[in-house]
Structures are given as C-alpha cells and as structure tokens.
Chains A and B, each alone.
Chain A
Amino acid sequence: MSLFSRKPKETASITYVSHTGASQTFDVPLGTSVMEGGVRNGVEEIVAECGGACICATCHVFVDEAYLPLLDAMEPGENEMLGNTLVKRRPNSRLSCQIQVTKSLDGMVVHTPEAQV
C-alpha cells in the first residue's frame, strides 16, 4: 500500500500556441496542471520558476475564449499574481500552474505571451 494513490493516467489534449503562432499539442494527464503539461513536453514559453506554487507569475497564458467558462474560478492569489506578469494581463489571462487538467478541457488551446521574465 502506498500513502497516496497514483494519479489516473487518463489524459486530455491541450494545445500550446506561441506568440509567433507555432502550435504544439500534447496529451496531458488529468489532475496535473496546464503548466506541468507544457514544461514536461518542452514548451519553452512556459517558464514556471516556482514550480507551480502561484508565486512567480512566469507561467502566464491566454486561454482560448471558448474554454474560459469551463475553468474553475481564480483564487485571489492568482488574481493578484496576474498583476505581476511581464506581458500585461488580458481578460483571458491565467497562470497555467493553477489550471488543473480535467476531461472537460480536452481540446483546450492556450496562447503563451512573448516573454515571461
């Protein structure tokens, strides 16, 4: 027996589009974050200095409008941190470490800003 059960290996497809329009799509395990899915697959536009603690604002993404209503509401900490991103926040800005991948997000597109640091 282990202390924690392993995360399910089911995945959702997430597409990361850079500011130049370059697009990469990966199957990201459910329960992990959009940030983790990007970093593990080598999406260089997501920096994630703090590793997902919502304290560095270097995993900023713009979420495709169609998927915005499917996301959980922001915690106050994320909202504050978005005031600290290098590229100014927009209405569809989120920190990708705070977006947990669920089945309903399958097919989601996020756009990465020109720079994070």
Chain B
Amino acid sequence: MAAGVVIAGAGQAGFQAAFSLRTEGYAGPITLVGEEAGLPYQRPPLSKGCLHGKQELDEIDLRPAAFYEKQNITLRMGERILAIDRDARRVYLADGEGLEYEYLLLATGASNRRLAGPGALYLRTRQEAAMLLTELEAAERLVVVGGGFIGLEVAAAATALERKVTVVEPQERLMQRAVGPIISEYFRAMHVGHGVEFVFGEGCTEIDDDGAVRLTNGAVLPADMVVAGIGVTPRAELAVAAGLSVANGIVVDEYLRTADERIYAIGDCASFPSRFAGGMARLESVQNAVDQARCFAEAVCGRPRPYDAVPWFWTDQFEAKLQMVGISQGFDCEVTRGDIGAGKFSVCYFREGRLIAIDSVNRPADHLAGRKLIAHGGTTVTPEQAADVEFDLKAAAQYLV
C-alpha cells in the first residue's frame, strides 16, 4: 500500500484534517489513529449541552461511521502510536504494527493537569463526562477547583441542577489567562447571583477520604464531589522521543511544520508563531483546531500558506454567552461598549492604538465585526469609536474582506 497521511489523534483537529484532505482533493490513504474507542466526537458539549441535558453523550459524534467509509478514511480507534521512525517515515502502533507515511500529522491534543492526590474528577473525555454526570446525581455539595472555562461551566450547570457549588481559584480572578478583569468580575458577580461561592487566592492541597477539600490556608470545604479544571499539558511525548523541538507544545513554523518537513503538528499540542499573540502561541479551541487542520490539508495538497487565522472562542455560563476574539493579553487600553447592567456588553482591548481583542457578552454582532477588524490589524477603529454604541462596528468591518 502506498504511504499516505497518518494522523496521530482523532479529536477535532485530527478529524478535520482527514476531512479537509479529502475536500482539498488528496487521493492517497488517510489513517486516523485515536486513543479512545468509538467514533471521533466533539468535546465542547461535554461541558456545555451534555451537562444541561440538551445533548446526549452518545449523540456528539463528529460524523457517523458511514462517513469514514465513504471518504475512504481508515479509522484506528482505541489504538495509539508509540513511536516515530523519522528516517523510515514509519510510525509504530502499540501492537508493533508499522504504518508508513508520506506526511505525519501530530494532533495529539492535551491532557488535563491533575491535583497531587486522588479524589477529584476531571473533564476531557466522553467517559469522564459520563462519570461526572453519574456522580452529580447523588451529590449535593460540589467543590470545583479552578475558575477557568471548564470549572465555571461545570459550576453553572451544577448550580442549575440545584447543587451547592464552591469554586476554588488560586489566582485573584476568574478565567485570568483568557479575559480581562472587567469580564472576570462580571462573571464572578453573575455566578454569586446564582448562589455559587468563591474562594480566591487559595489552592487545594489534598482531598480527604470523606471527600472534603483541604485548602492552602488550612480551611476545609466539605464536598460530596470534587471537579478539577486546572489547565492542561500538551501531549508532546511522541515528538520529544522523535527528537523534535518541544517548548510548551510541539514547535512548528508558520506552515505548522516541525523541523522535519514530513511532520506537522496542529491543535492543542502545537506551539506556532502568531501575530495575534506577538510570538509563539498554543491555543486550545475548536477554531484553532479546525483552521489549522485546513491549513495543513492545503499544504499537503501543494498549496501551502502561512497560518494566520484570528483566534476565537466561546463559553456558555448561565444567561451569558461569552464570545472572545483576538488575544487580549498585553493590552494597554480597554473600553466598554454597551450596557454591563443589562448583561449585553463588549470589552474592546487596544495595544499601542490597535484593536487586539474583543470579549462580548450577549453581543454577537460586536464579536463578528471584531473577527474582521482584528484580522486586518485593528487599525481602523479608535478606542473612542469602539466605546460609542452609536458607532457601527459592523459597518466599519464591512469593507474589509
């Protein structure tokens, strides 16, 4: 059999790469290797729709089995690539079988950081979501460790089910890595308004046998259930073993290629140069996974282009739909647009006079305009204009392609 494209990892990025290779016209063999059994599935619903009873865990497959047959994509689910032989252009599965490749794509994702001891639940896989839902049935008091997106989505869902929730966040504010302080405070107040309690500036040192959570300040929080969402570690062990460069993810160039011209990396596991980050970036999002997968597929099909998509992300918590575009870190000016009290507003972030990011709460039009404005360098809107709701951001973005 001719060597084709082997994709390590069957999450959103790996799946999309296989799909995009076919839509771009790639005719060779495509093998998608995924650690988890079952068909490739979407992860966002695990902390969103599935926790609210709007989606079932067995209904979140990205595509049905027939799709892979029709597209001639070979699925190797429940299997794992253990090693790469770069000289022979071959990967080895756990059972010793070798697969030759023309191109190898590392879309290995990330794994959850874990607390030091046992006792906490985590949320990344369909199986973990099933466990969480099962435990949630009997639990009355939850402690969530980590006030990031996952932790807060779990807190909101559990509160909606009338569970008592306390969130422990070691930093001083919520979602600190991704949003500015105005948004953090809005979400804190909203969660408190729904009955969620917070402990800031403390971590979890251990979980007692009875489930109680011990904090760094000595306090003990009783709990029937502990969920930890404390960030991730990129899965780069294959790349390390193959001698590829790894620094907070597998290092790739603007074409998403490693130092080996036959090996690319995309999605949560890849560290890539980003003008939006002003340096190397590693992003954990559907948008990044999908857009990088397309970029990879085009490169394999002989149409390489630098990856340059605007980062965007979303989270749903209680009545707030938060949509983020751009990377706000390093802003030197922020303006608020809309009505915070009414729960419909955006925070626009500027650096050296350029619009670099917008976080929108229930203002989808600002978010969409932001995607265009920021892609174009953010030079066409001033902070004064952004703060003025009468100023039409959409119109300002319209003539930009």
Query: Does B364 lie within 8 Å of A52, measured CB to CB?
Result: no
Within 8 A of A (CB), among B122-177: 133, 136-137, 161
B137 touches which of A3, A32, A51, A77 (Cβ 8 Å): A3
Q: Is the interface of A mostly helix, strand, loop or mixed?
A: loop
A87 close to B (CB within 8 Å): no
Residues in B whose Cβ lies below 8 Å from that of A83: 368, 394
A50: CB under 8 A from chain B? yes
Which residue on chain A has the smallest CB distance to residue B398? Answer: A83
Question: In the bound complex, do residue B66 and residue A42 qualify as a contact, i.e. CB atoms below 8 Å apart?
Answer: yes
A53 to B62, CA, bound (A): 14
Contact B70 A42 (CB under 8 A): yes
In the docked arrangement, what's the CA distance between A42 and B70, Å?
10
Q: In the docked arrangement, what's the CA distance between A50 and B323, Å?
A: 13
Chain B positions within 8 Å of A6 at CB level: 56
A16-58 to B contact mask, C-beta < 8 Å, 1/0: 0000000000000000100010011110100001111101000
Cβ of B279 under 8 Å from chain A: no
Query: How many Å lie between the Cα of A36 and that of B60 in the bound state?
Result: 9
Chain B 53-70, CB within 8 Å of chain A: the 1/0 string?
Answer: 101100111111011001
In angstroms, Cα B56 to Cα A32, docked, is 10
Q: Is A88 an interface residue (CB 8 A)?
A: no
Asked whether, in the complex, the Cβ of B314 is within 8 Å of the Cβ of A53, the reply is yes
Say if the beta carbon of B44 comes within 8 Å of chain A. Answer: yes
- Write out the residue numbers on chain B whose beta carbons fall within 8 Å of the beta carbon of A36: 59
Given A2-B137, A3-B133, A81-B364; A42-B44 close (CB under 8 Å): no
Cβ B59 vs Cβ A32 within 8 A: yes
B72 at the interface (CB under 8 A from A): no
Determine if B323 and A55 form an interchain contact, defined as CB atoms under 8 angstroms apart: yes
**Which size class do A's interface residues fall under?**
20 to 34
Contacts of B312 in A (CB 8 A): 55
Are B44 and A40 closer than 8 Å at their CB atoms? no
Name which residue of chain A comes closest to B161, CB basis: A3
Q: Is A84 an interface residue (CB 8 A)?
A: yes
State in angstroms the CA–CA spacing of A80 and B397 once bound together.
14
How far does the Cβ of B366 sit from chain A's closest Cβ, in whole Å?
9
Which residues in chain A, 53-94, are within 8 Å of chain B measured between CB atoms?
53, 55, 76-77, 80-81, 83-84
The A-contacting residues of B in range 55-90, CB under 8 angstroms, are: 55-56, 59-64, 66-67, 70
- Tell me which of A1, A3, A40 contacts B53 (CB under 8 A): A3
A–B pairs, 26, beta carbons within 8 Å: A2-B137, A3-B133, A3-B136, A3-B137, A4-B53, A6-B56, A32-B59, A36-B59, A39-B62, A39-B63, A42-B67, A44-B67, A49-B286, A49-B290, A50-B44, A51-B42, A52-B49, A52-B55, A53-B314, A53-B316, A55-B364, A76-B364, A80-B368, A81-B368, A83-B368, A83-B394
